[in-house]
């Protein structure tokens, strides 16, 4: 069991290198963005990023997800390659048709989103960039399925390096602002498509499986609705903040959200990327229940530690990297969003049971209900509490959604998760953060020292609640002894 957990952690860690490199762009370029973009322009960029993510989620039709699900069960190499060709070629045809439909409507899209037509070029670039990103989903999912994490990391780092260099060139030296950022992303996505295409073609045979497409679409279509709902849930608040407030508030909220999203990329997305193929291969094994239970416990442990660290040091990070003091207040929303992300990460593991038994219609229903709830909470809270109302709405929604996924998933795939331990983890994280508020009037370096002590105390305080099993403590002791003995030799 411990070896399985260790393998899962290793896979997630390797994939995280690629995800971290992508996330680093936002932080490396933060001084550049805050120097050359106003809070209003940053807010416009945030709206465009949300729109791009929404396009990728919807226009992909979740065919790459169906591909990885079908291929994980298939024993025939030839049929696996046929499934890949079937889904990829279908997506390619859909994207060509959608570009032919939407490219002539970019002026209307600009007017719809911003009330003016002058942002037409944003949408021309955005649609093309999203098309390449959708095609890349197949390549990256195939790399995960084949468990080629090194290739994943190398391809991701190359893309990130190019996007980073182009951002600097287009913004600083060409003065292209938001246009330069979108153009950089487009070129990076196109480059990734070119890099991974040989690997993709190597694992295809030109055999279109019409009979397999129907059940795959039946599997993926409910996921489209759940994905749309998820996008509205996680990103719809930006549009409502714009409606009730202004682009400057959108920019401030988005910066805080971006900082909190480090754990979404570093922990949640990396874990999902590395764990999903492993989960599909282990869900029917004799020790599956304990495997998934312990995985969630220590995954939650990591989520809470990351959320606590970001919440404690968000002020210092923003002040250090932001050149525009108008952005500094963004740190105040980080604790709310990181707490919401803890429950987002947890619900992913709960939801896997519905994927295992191919009951994805429940995924769609739960997420759609959560999106409606989130919309209602945002409409109620944003007018009264501004960006903090959006943050509170996000927490409430993710808590209730993770609970719903647990209840429904348990009906079809029973795993006795260690709920009590997860409650202890989350509660301790909240208490330690609230304790840090006592240091608000202390000096800069004193605050950093005391916050560091709070984080360091987290694993030791858990001993008071008998959080660790005896075998886990013994294994950690063995690892420490082995490490020290190797260091002495």
pLDDT in tens, 318-331: 887 777 788 889 99
CA distance 301 to 400: 20
**Mean pLDDT for the stretch of residues 126-146:** 91
Q: How many residues are listed for the chain in this entry? A: 489
- DSSP string computed for 241-263: HHHHS-HHHHHHHHHHHHHHTHH
Q: What contacts 102, CB < 8 A, 6 or more positions away?
A: 109, 127
The answer to whether residue 304 sits within a structural domain is: yes
pLDDT at residue 183 above 60?
yes
Instruction: Please report which confidence band the pLDDT of residue 127 belongs to, taking 50, 70 and 90 as the band edges.
Output: very high
The answer to whether residue 21 sits within a structural domain is: yes
Give exposure, 179-195, as e/b (b: 16+ Cβ within 10 Å): bbbbbbbbbbbbbbbeb
Answer yes or no: pTM beyond 0.75: no
Instruction: Please report which confidence band the pLDDT of residue 66 belongs to, taking 50, 70 and 90 as the band edges.
Output: confident
- Quote the distance between the C-alpha of residue 420 and its chain's center: 26
pLDDT at residue 282 above 80?
no
The answer to whether residue 458 sits within a structural domain is: yes
Lowest-pLDDT range, 295-299, 363-367, 448-452? 363-367
Higher local confidence (pLDDT), 276 or 158 = 158
The answer to whether residue 489 sits within a structural domain is: no
pLDDT of residue 180: 94
The answer to whether residue 201 sits within a structural domain is: yes
The answer to whether residue 481 sits within a structural domain is: no
pLDDT-above-70 percentage for the chain: 92
Q: Where are the beta strands (DSSP E) in 362-452?
A: none
pLDDT at residue 18 above 90?
no
pLDDT at residue 9 above 60?
no
pLDDT at residue 71 above 70?
yes
- Quote the distance between the C-alpha of residue 162 and its chain's center: 22
Instruction: Please report which confidence band the pLDDT of residue 221 belongs to, taking 50, 70 and 90 as the band edges.
Output: confident
Instruction: Please report which confidence band the pLDDT of residue 486 belongs to, taking 50, 70 and 90 as the band edges.
Output: low
The answer to whether residue 486 sits within a structural domain is: no
**Mean pLDDT for the stretch of residues 307-322:** 87
Instruction: Tell me which residue range forms the domain holding 133.
Output: 2-476
pLDDT of residue 409: 86
The answer to whether residue 341 sits within a structural domain is: yes
Proportion of the chain in helix, strand, coil states, percent, rounded to 5: 90, 0, 10
Q: Which helix (H) or strand (E) holds 380?
A: helix 360-412
Query: What is the count of structural domains for the chain?
Result: 1
Whether 378 and 232 have beta carbons less than 8 Å apart is answered as no
């Amino acid at each position: 069991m411990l070896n399985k957990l260790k393998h899962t952690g290793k896979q997630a860690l390797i994939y995280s290198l690629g995800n971290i490199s992508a996330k680093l762009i936002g932080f490396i370029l933060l001084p550049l963005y805050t120097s050359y973009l106003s809070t209003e322009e940053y807010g416009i960029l945030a709206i465009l990023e949300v729109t791009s993510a929404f396009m990728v989620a919807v226009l992909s039709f979740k065919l790459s997800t169906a591909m990885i699900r079908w291929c994980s069960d298939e024993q025939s190499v030839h049929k696996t390659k046929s499934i890949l060709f079937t889904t990829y070629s279908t997506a390619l045809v859909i994207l060509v048709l959608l570009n032919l439909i939407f490219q002539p409507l970019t002026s209307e899209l600009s007017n719809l989103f911003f009330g003016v037509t002058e942002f037409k070029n944003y949408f021309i670039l955005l649609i093309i960039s999203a098309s390449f990103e959708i095609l890349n989903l197949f390549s990256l999912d195939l790399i995960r399925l084949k468990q080629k994490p090194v290739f994943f990391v190398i391809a991701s780092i190359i893309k990130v390096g190019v996007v980073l260099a182009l951002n600097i060139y287009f913004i600083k030296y060409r003065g292209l602002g938001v246009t330069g950022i979108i153009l950089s992303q487009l070129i990076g996505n196109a480059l990734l498509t070119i890099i991974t295409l040989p690997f993709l073609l190597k694992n295809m045979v030109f055999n279109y499986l019409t009979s397999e497409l129907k059940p795959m679409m039946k599997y993926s279509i409910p996921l489209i609705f759940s994905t749309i709902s998820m996008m509205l849930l996680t990103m719809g608040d930006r549009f409502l903040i714009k409606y009730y407030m202004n682009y400057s508030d959108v920019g401030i909220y988005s910066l805080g959200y971006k900082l909190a999203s480090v754990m979404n990329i570093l922990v949640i997305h990396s874990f999902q990327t590395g764990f999903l193929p492993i989960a599909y291969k282990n869900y029917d094994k004799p020790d599956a229940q304990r495997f998934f239970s312990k995985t969630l416990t220590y995954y939650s442990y990591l989520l809470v530690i990351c959320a606590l660290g970001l919440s404690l040091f968000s002020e210092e990070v923003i002040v250090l990297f932001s050149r525009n003091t108008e952005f500094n207040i963004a740190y105040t929303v980080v604790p709310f969003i990181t707490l919401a992300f803890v429950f987002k990460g947890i619900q992913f593991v709960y939801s896997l049971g519905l994927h295992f038994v191919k009951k994805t219609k429940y995924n769609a229903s739960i997420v759609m209900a959560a999106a409606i709830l989130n919309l209602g909470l945002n409409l109620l809270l944003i007018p009264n509490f501004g960006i903090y109302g959006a943050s509170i709405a996000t927490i409430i929604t993710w808590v209730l959604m993770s609970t719903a996924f647990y209840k429904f998933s348990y009906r079809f795939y029973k795993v006795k998760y260690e709920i009590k331990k997860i409650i202890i983890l989350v509660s301790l994280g909240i208490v330690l953060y609230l304790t840090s508020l006592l240091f608000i009037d202390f000096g800069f370096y004193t605050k950093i020292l005391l916050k560091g002590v709070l984080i360091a105390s987290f694993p030791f305080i858990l001993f008071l609640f008998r959080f660790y099993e005896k075998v886990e403590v013994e294994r950690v002791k063995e690892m420490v002894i082995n490490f020290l003995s190797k260091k002495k030799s």
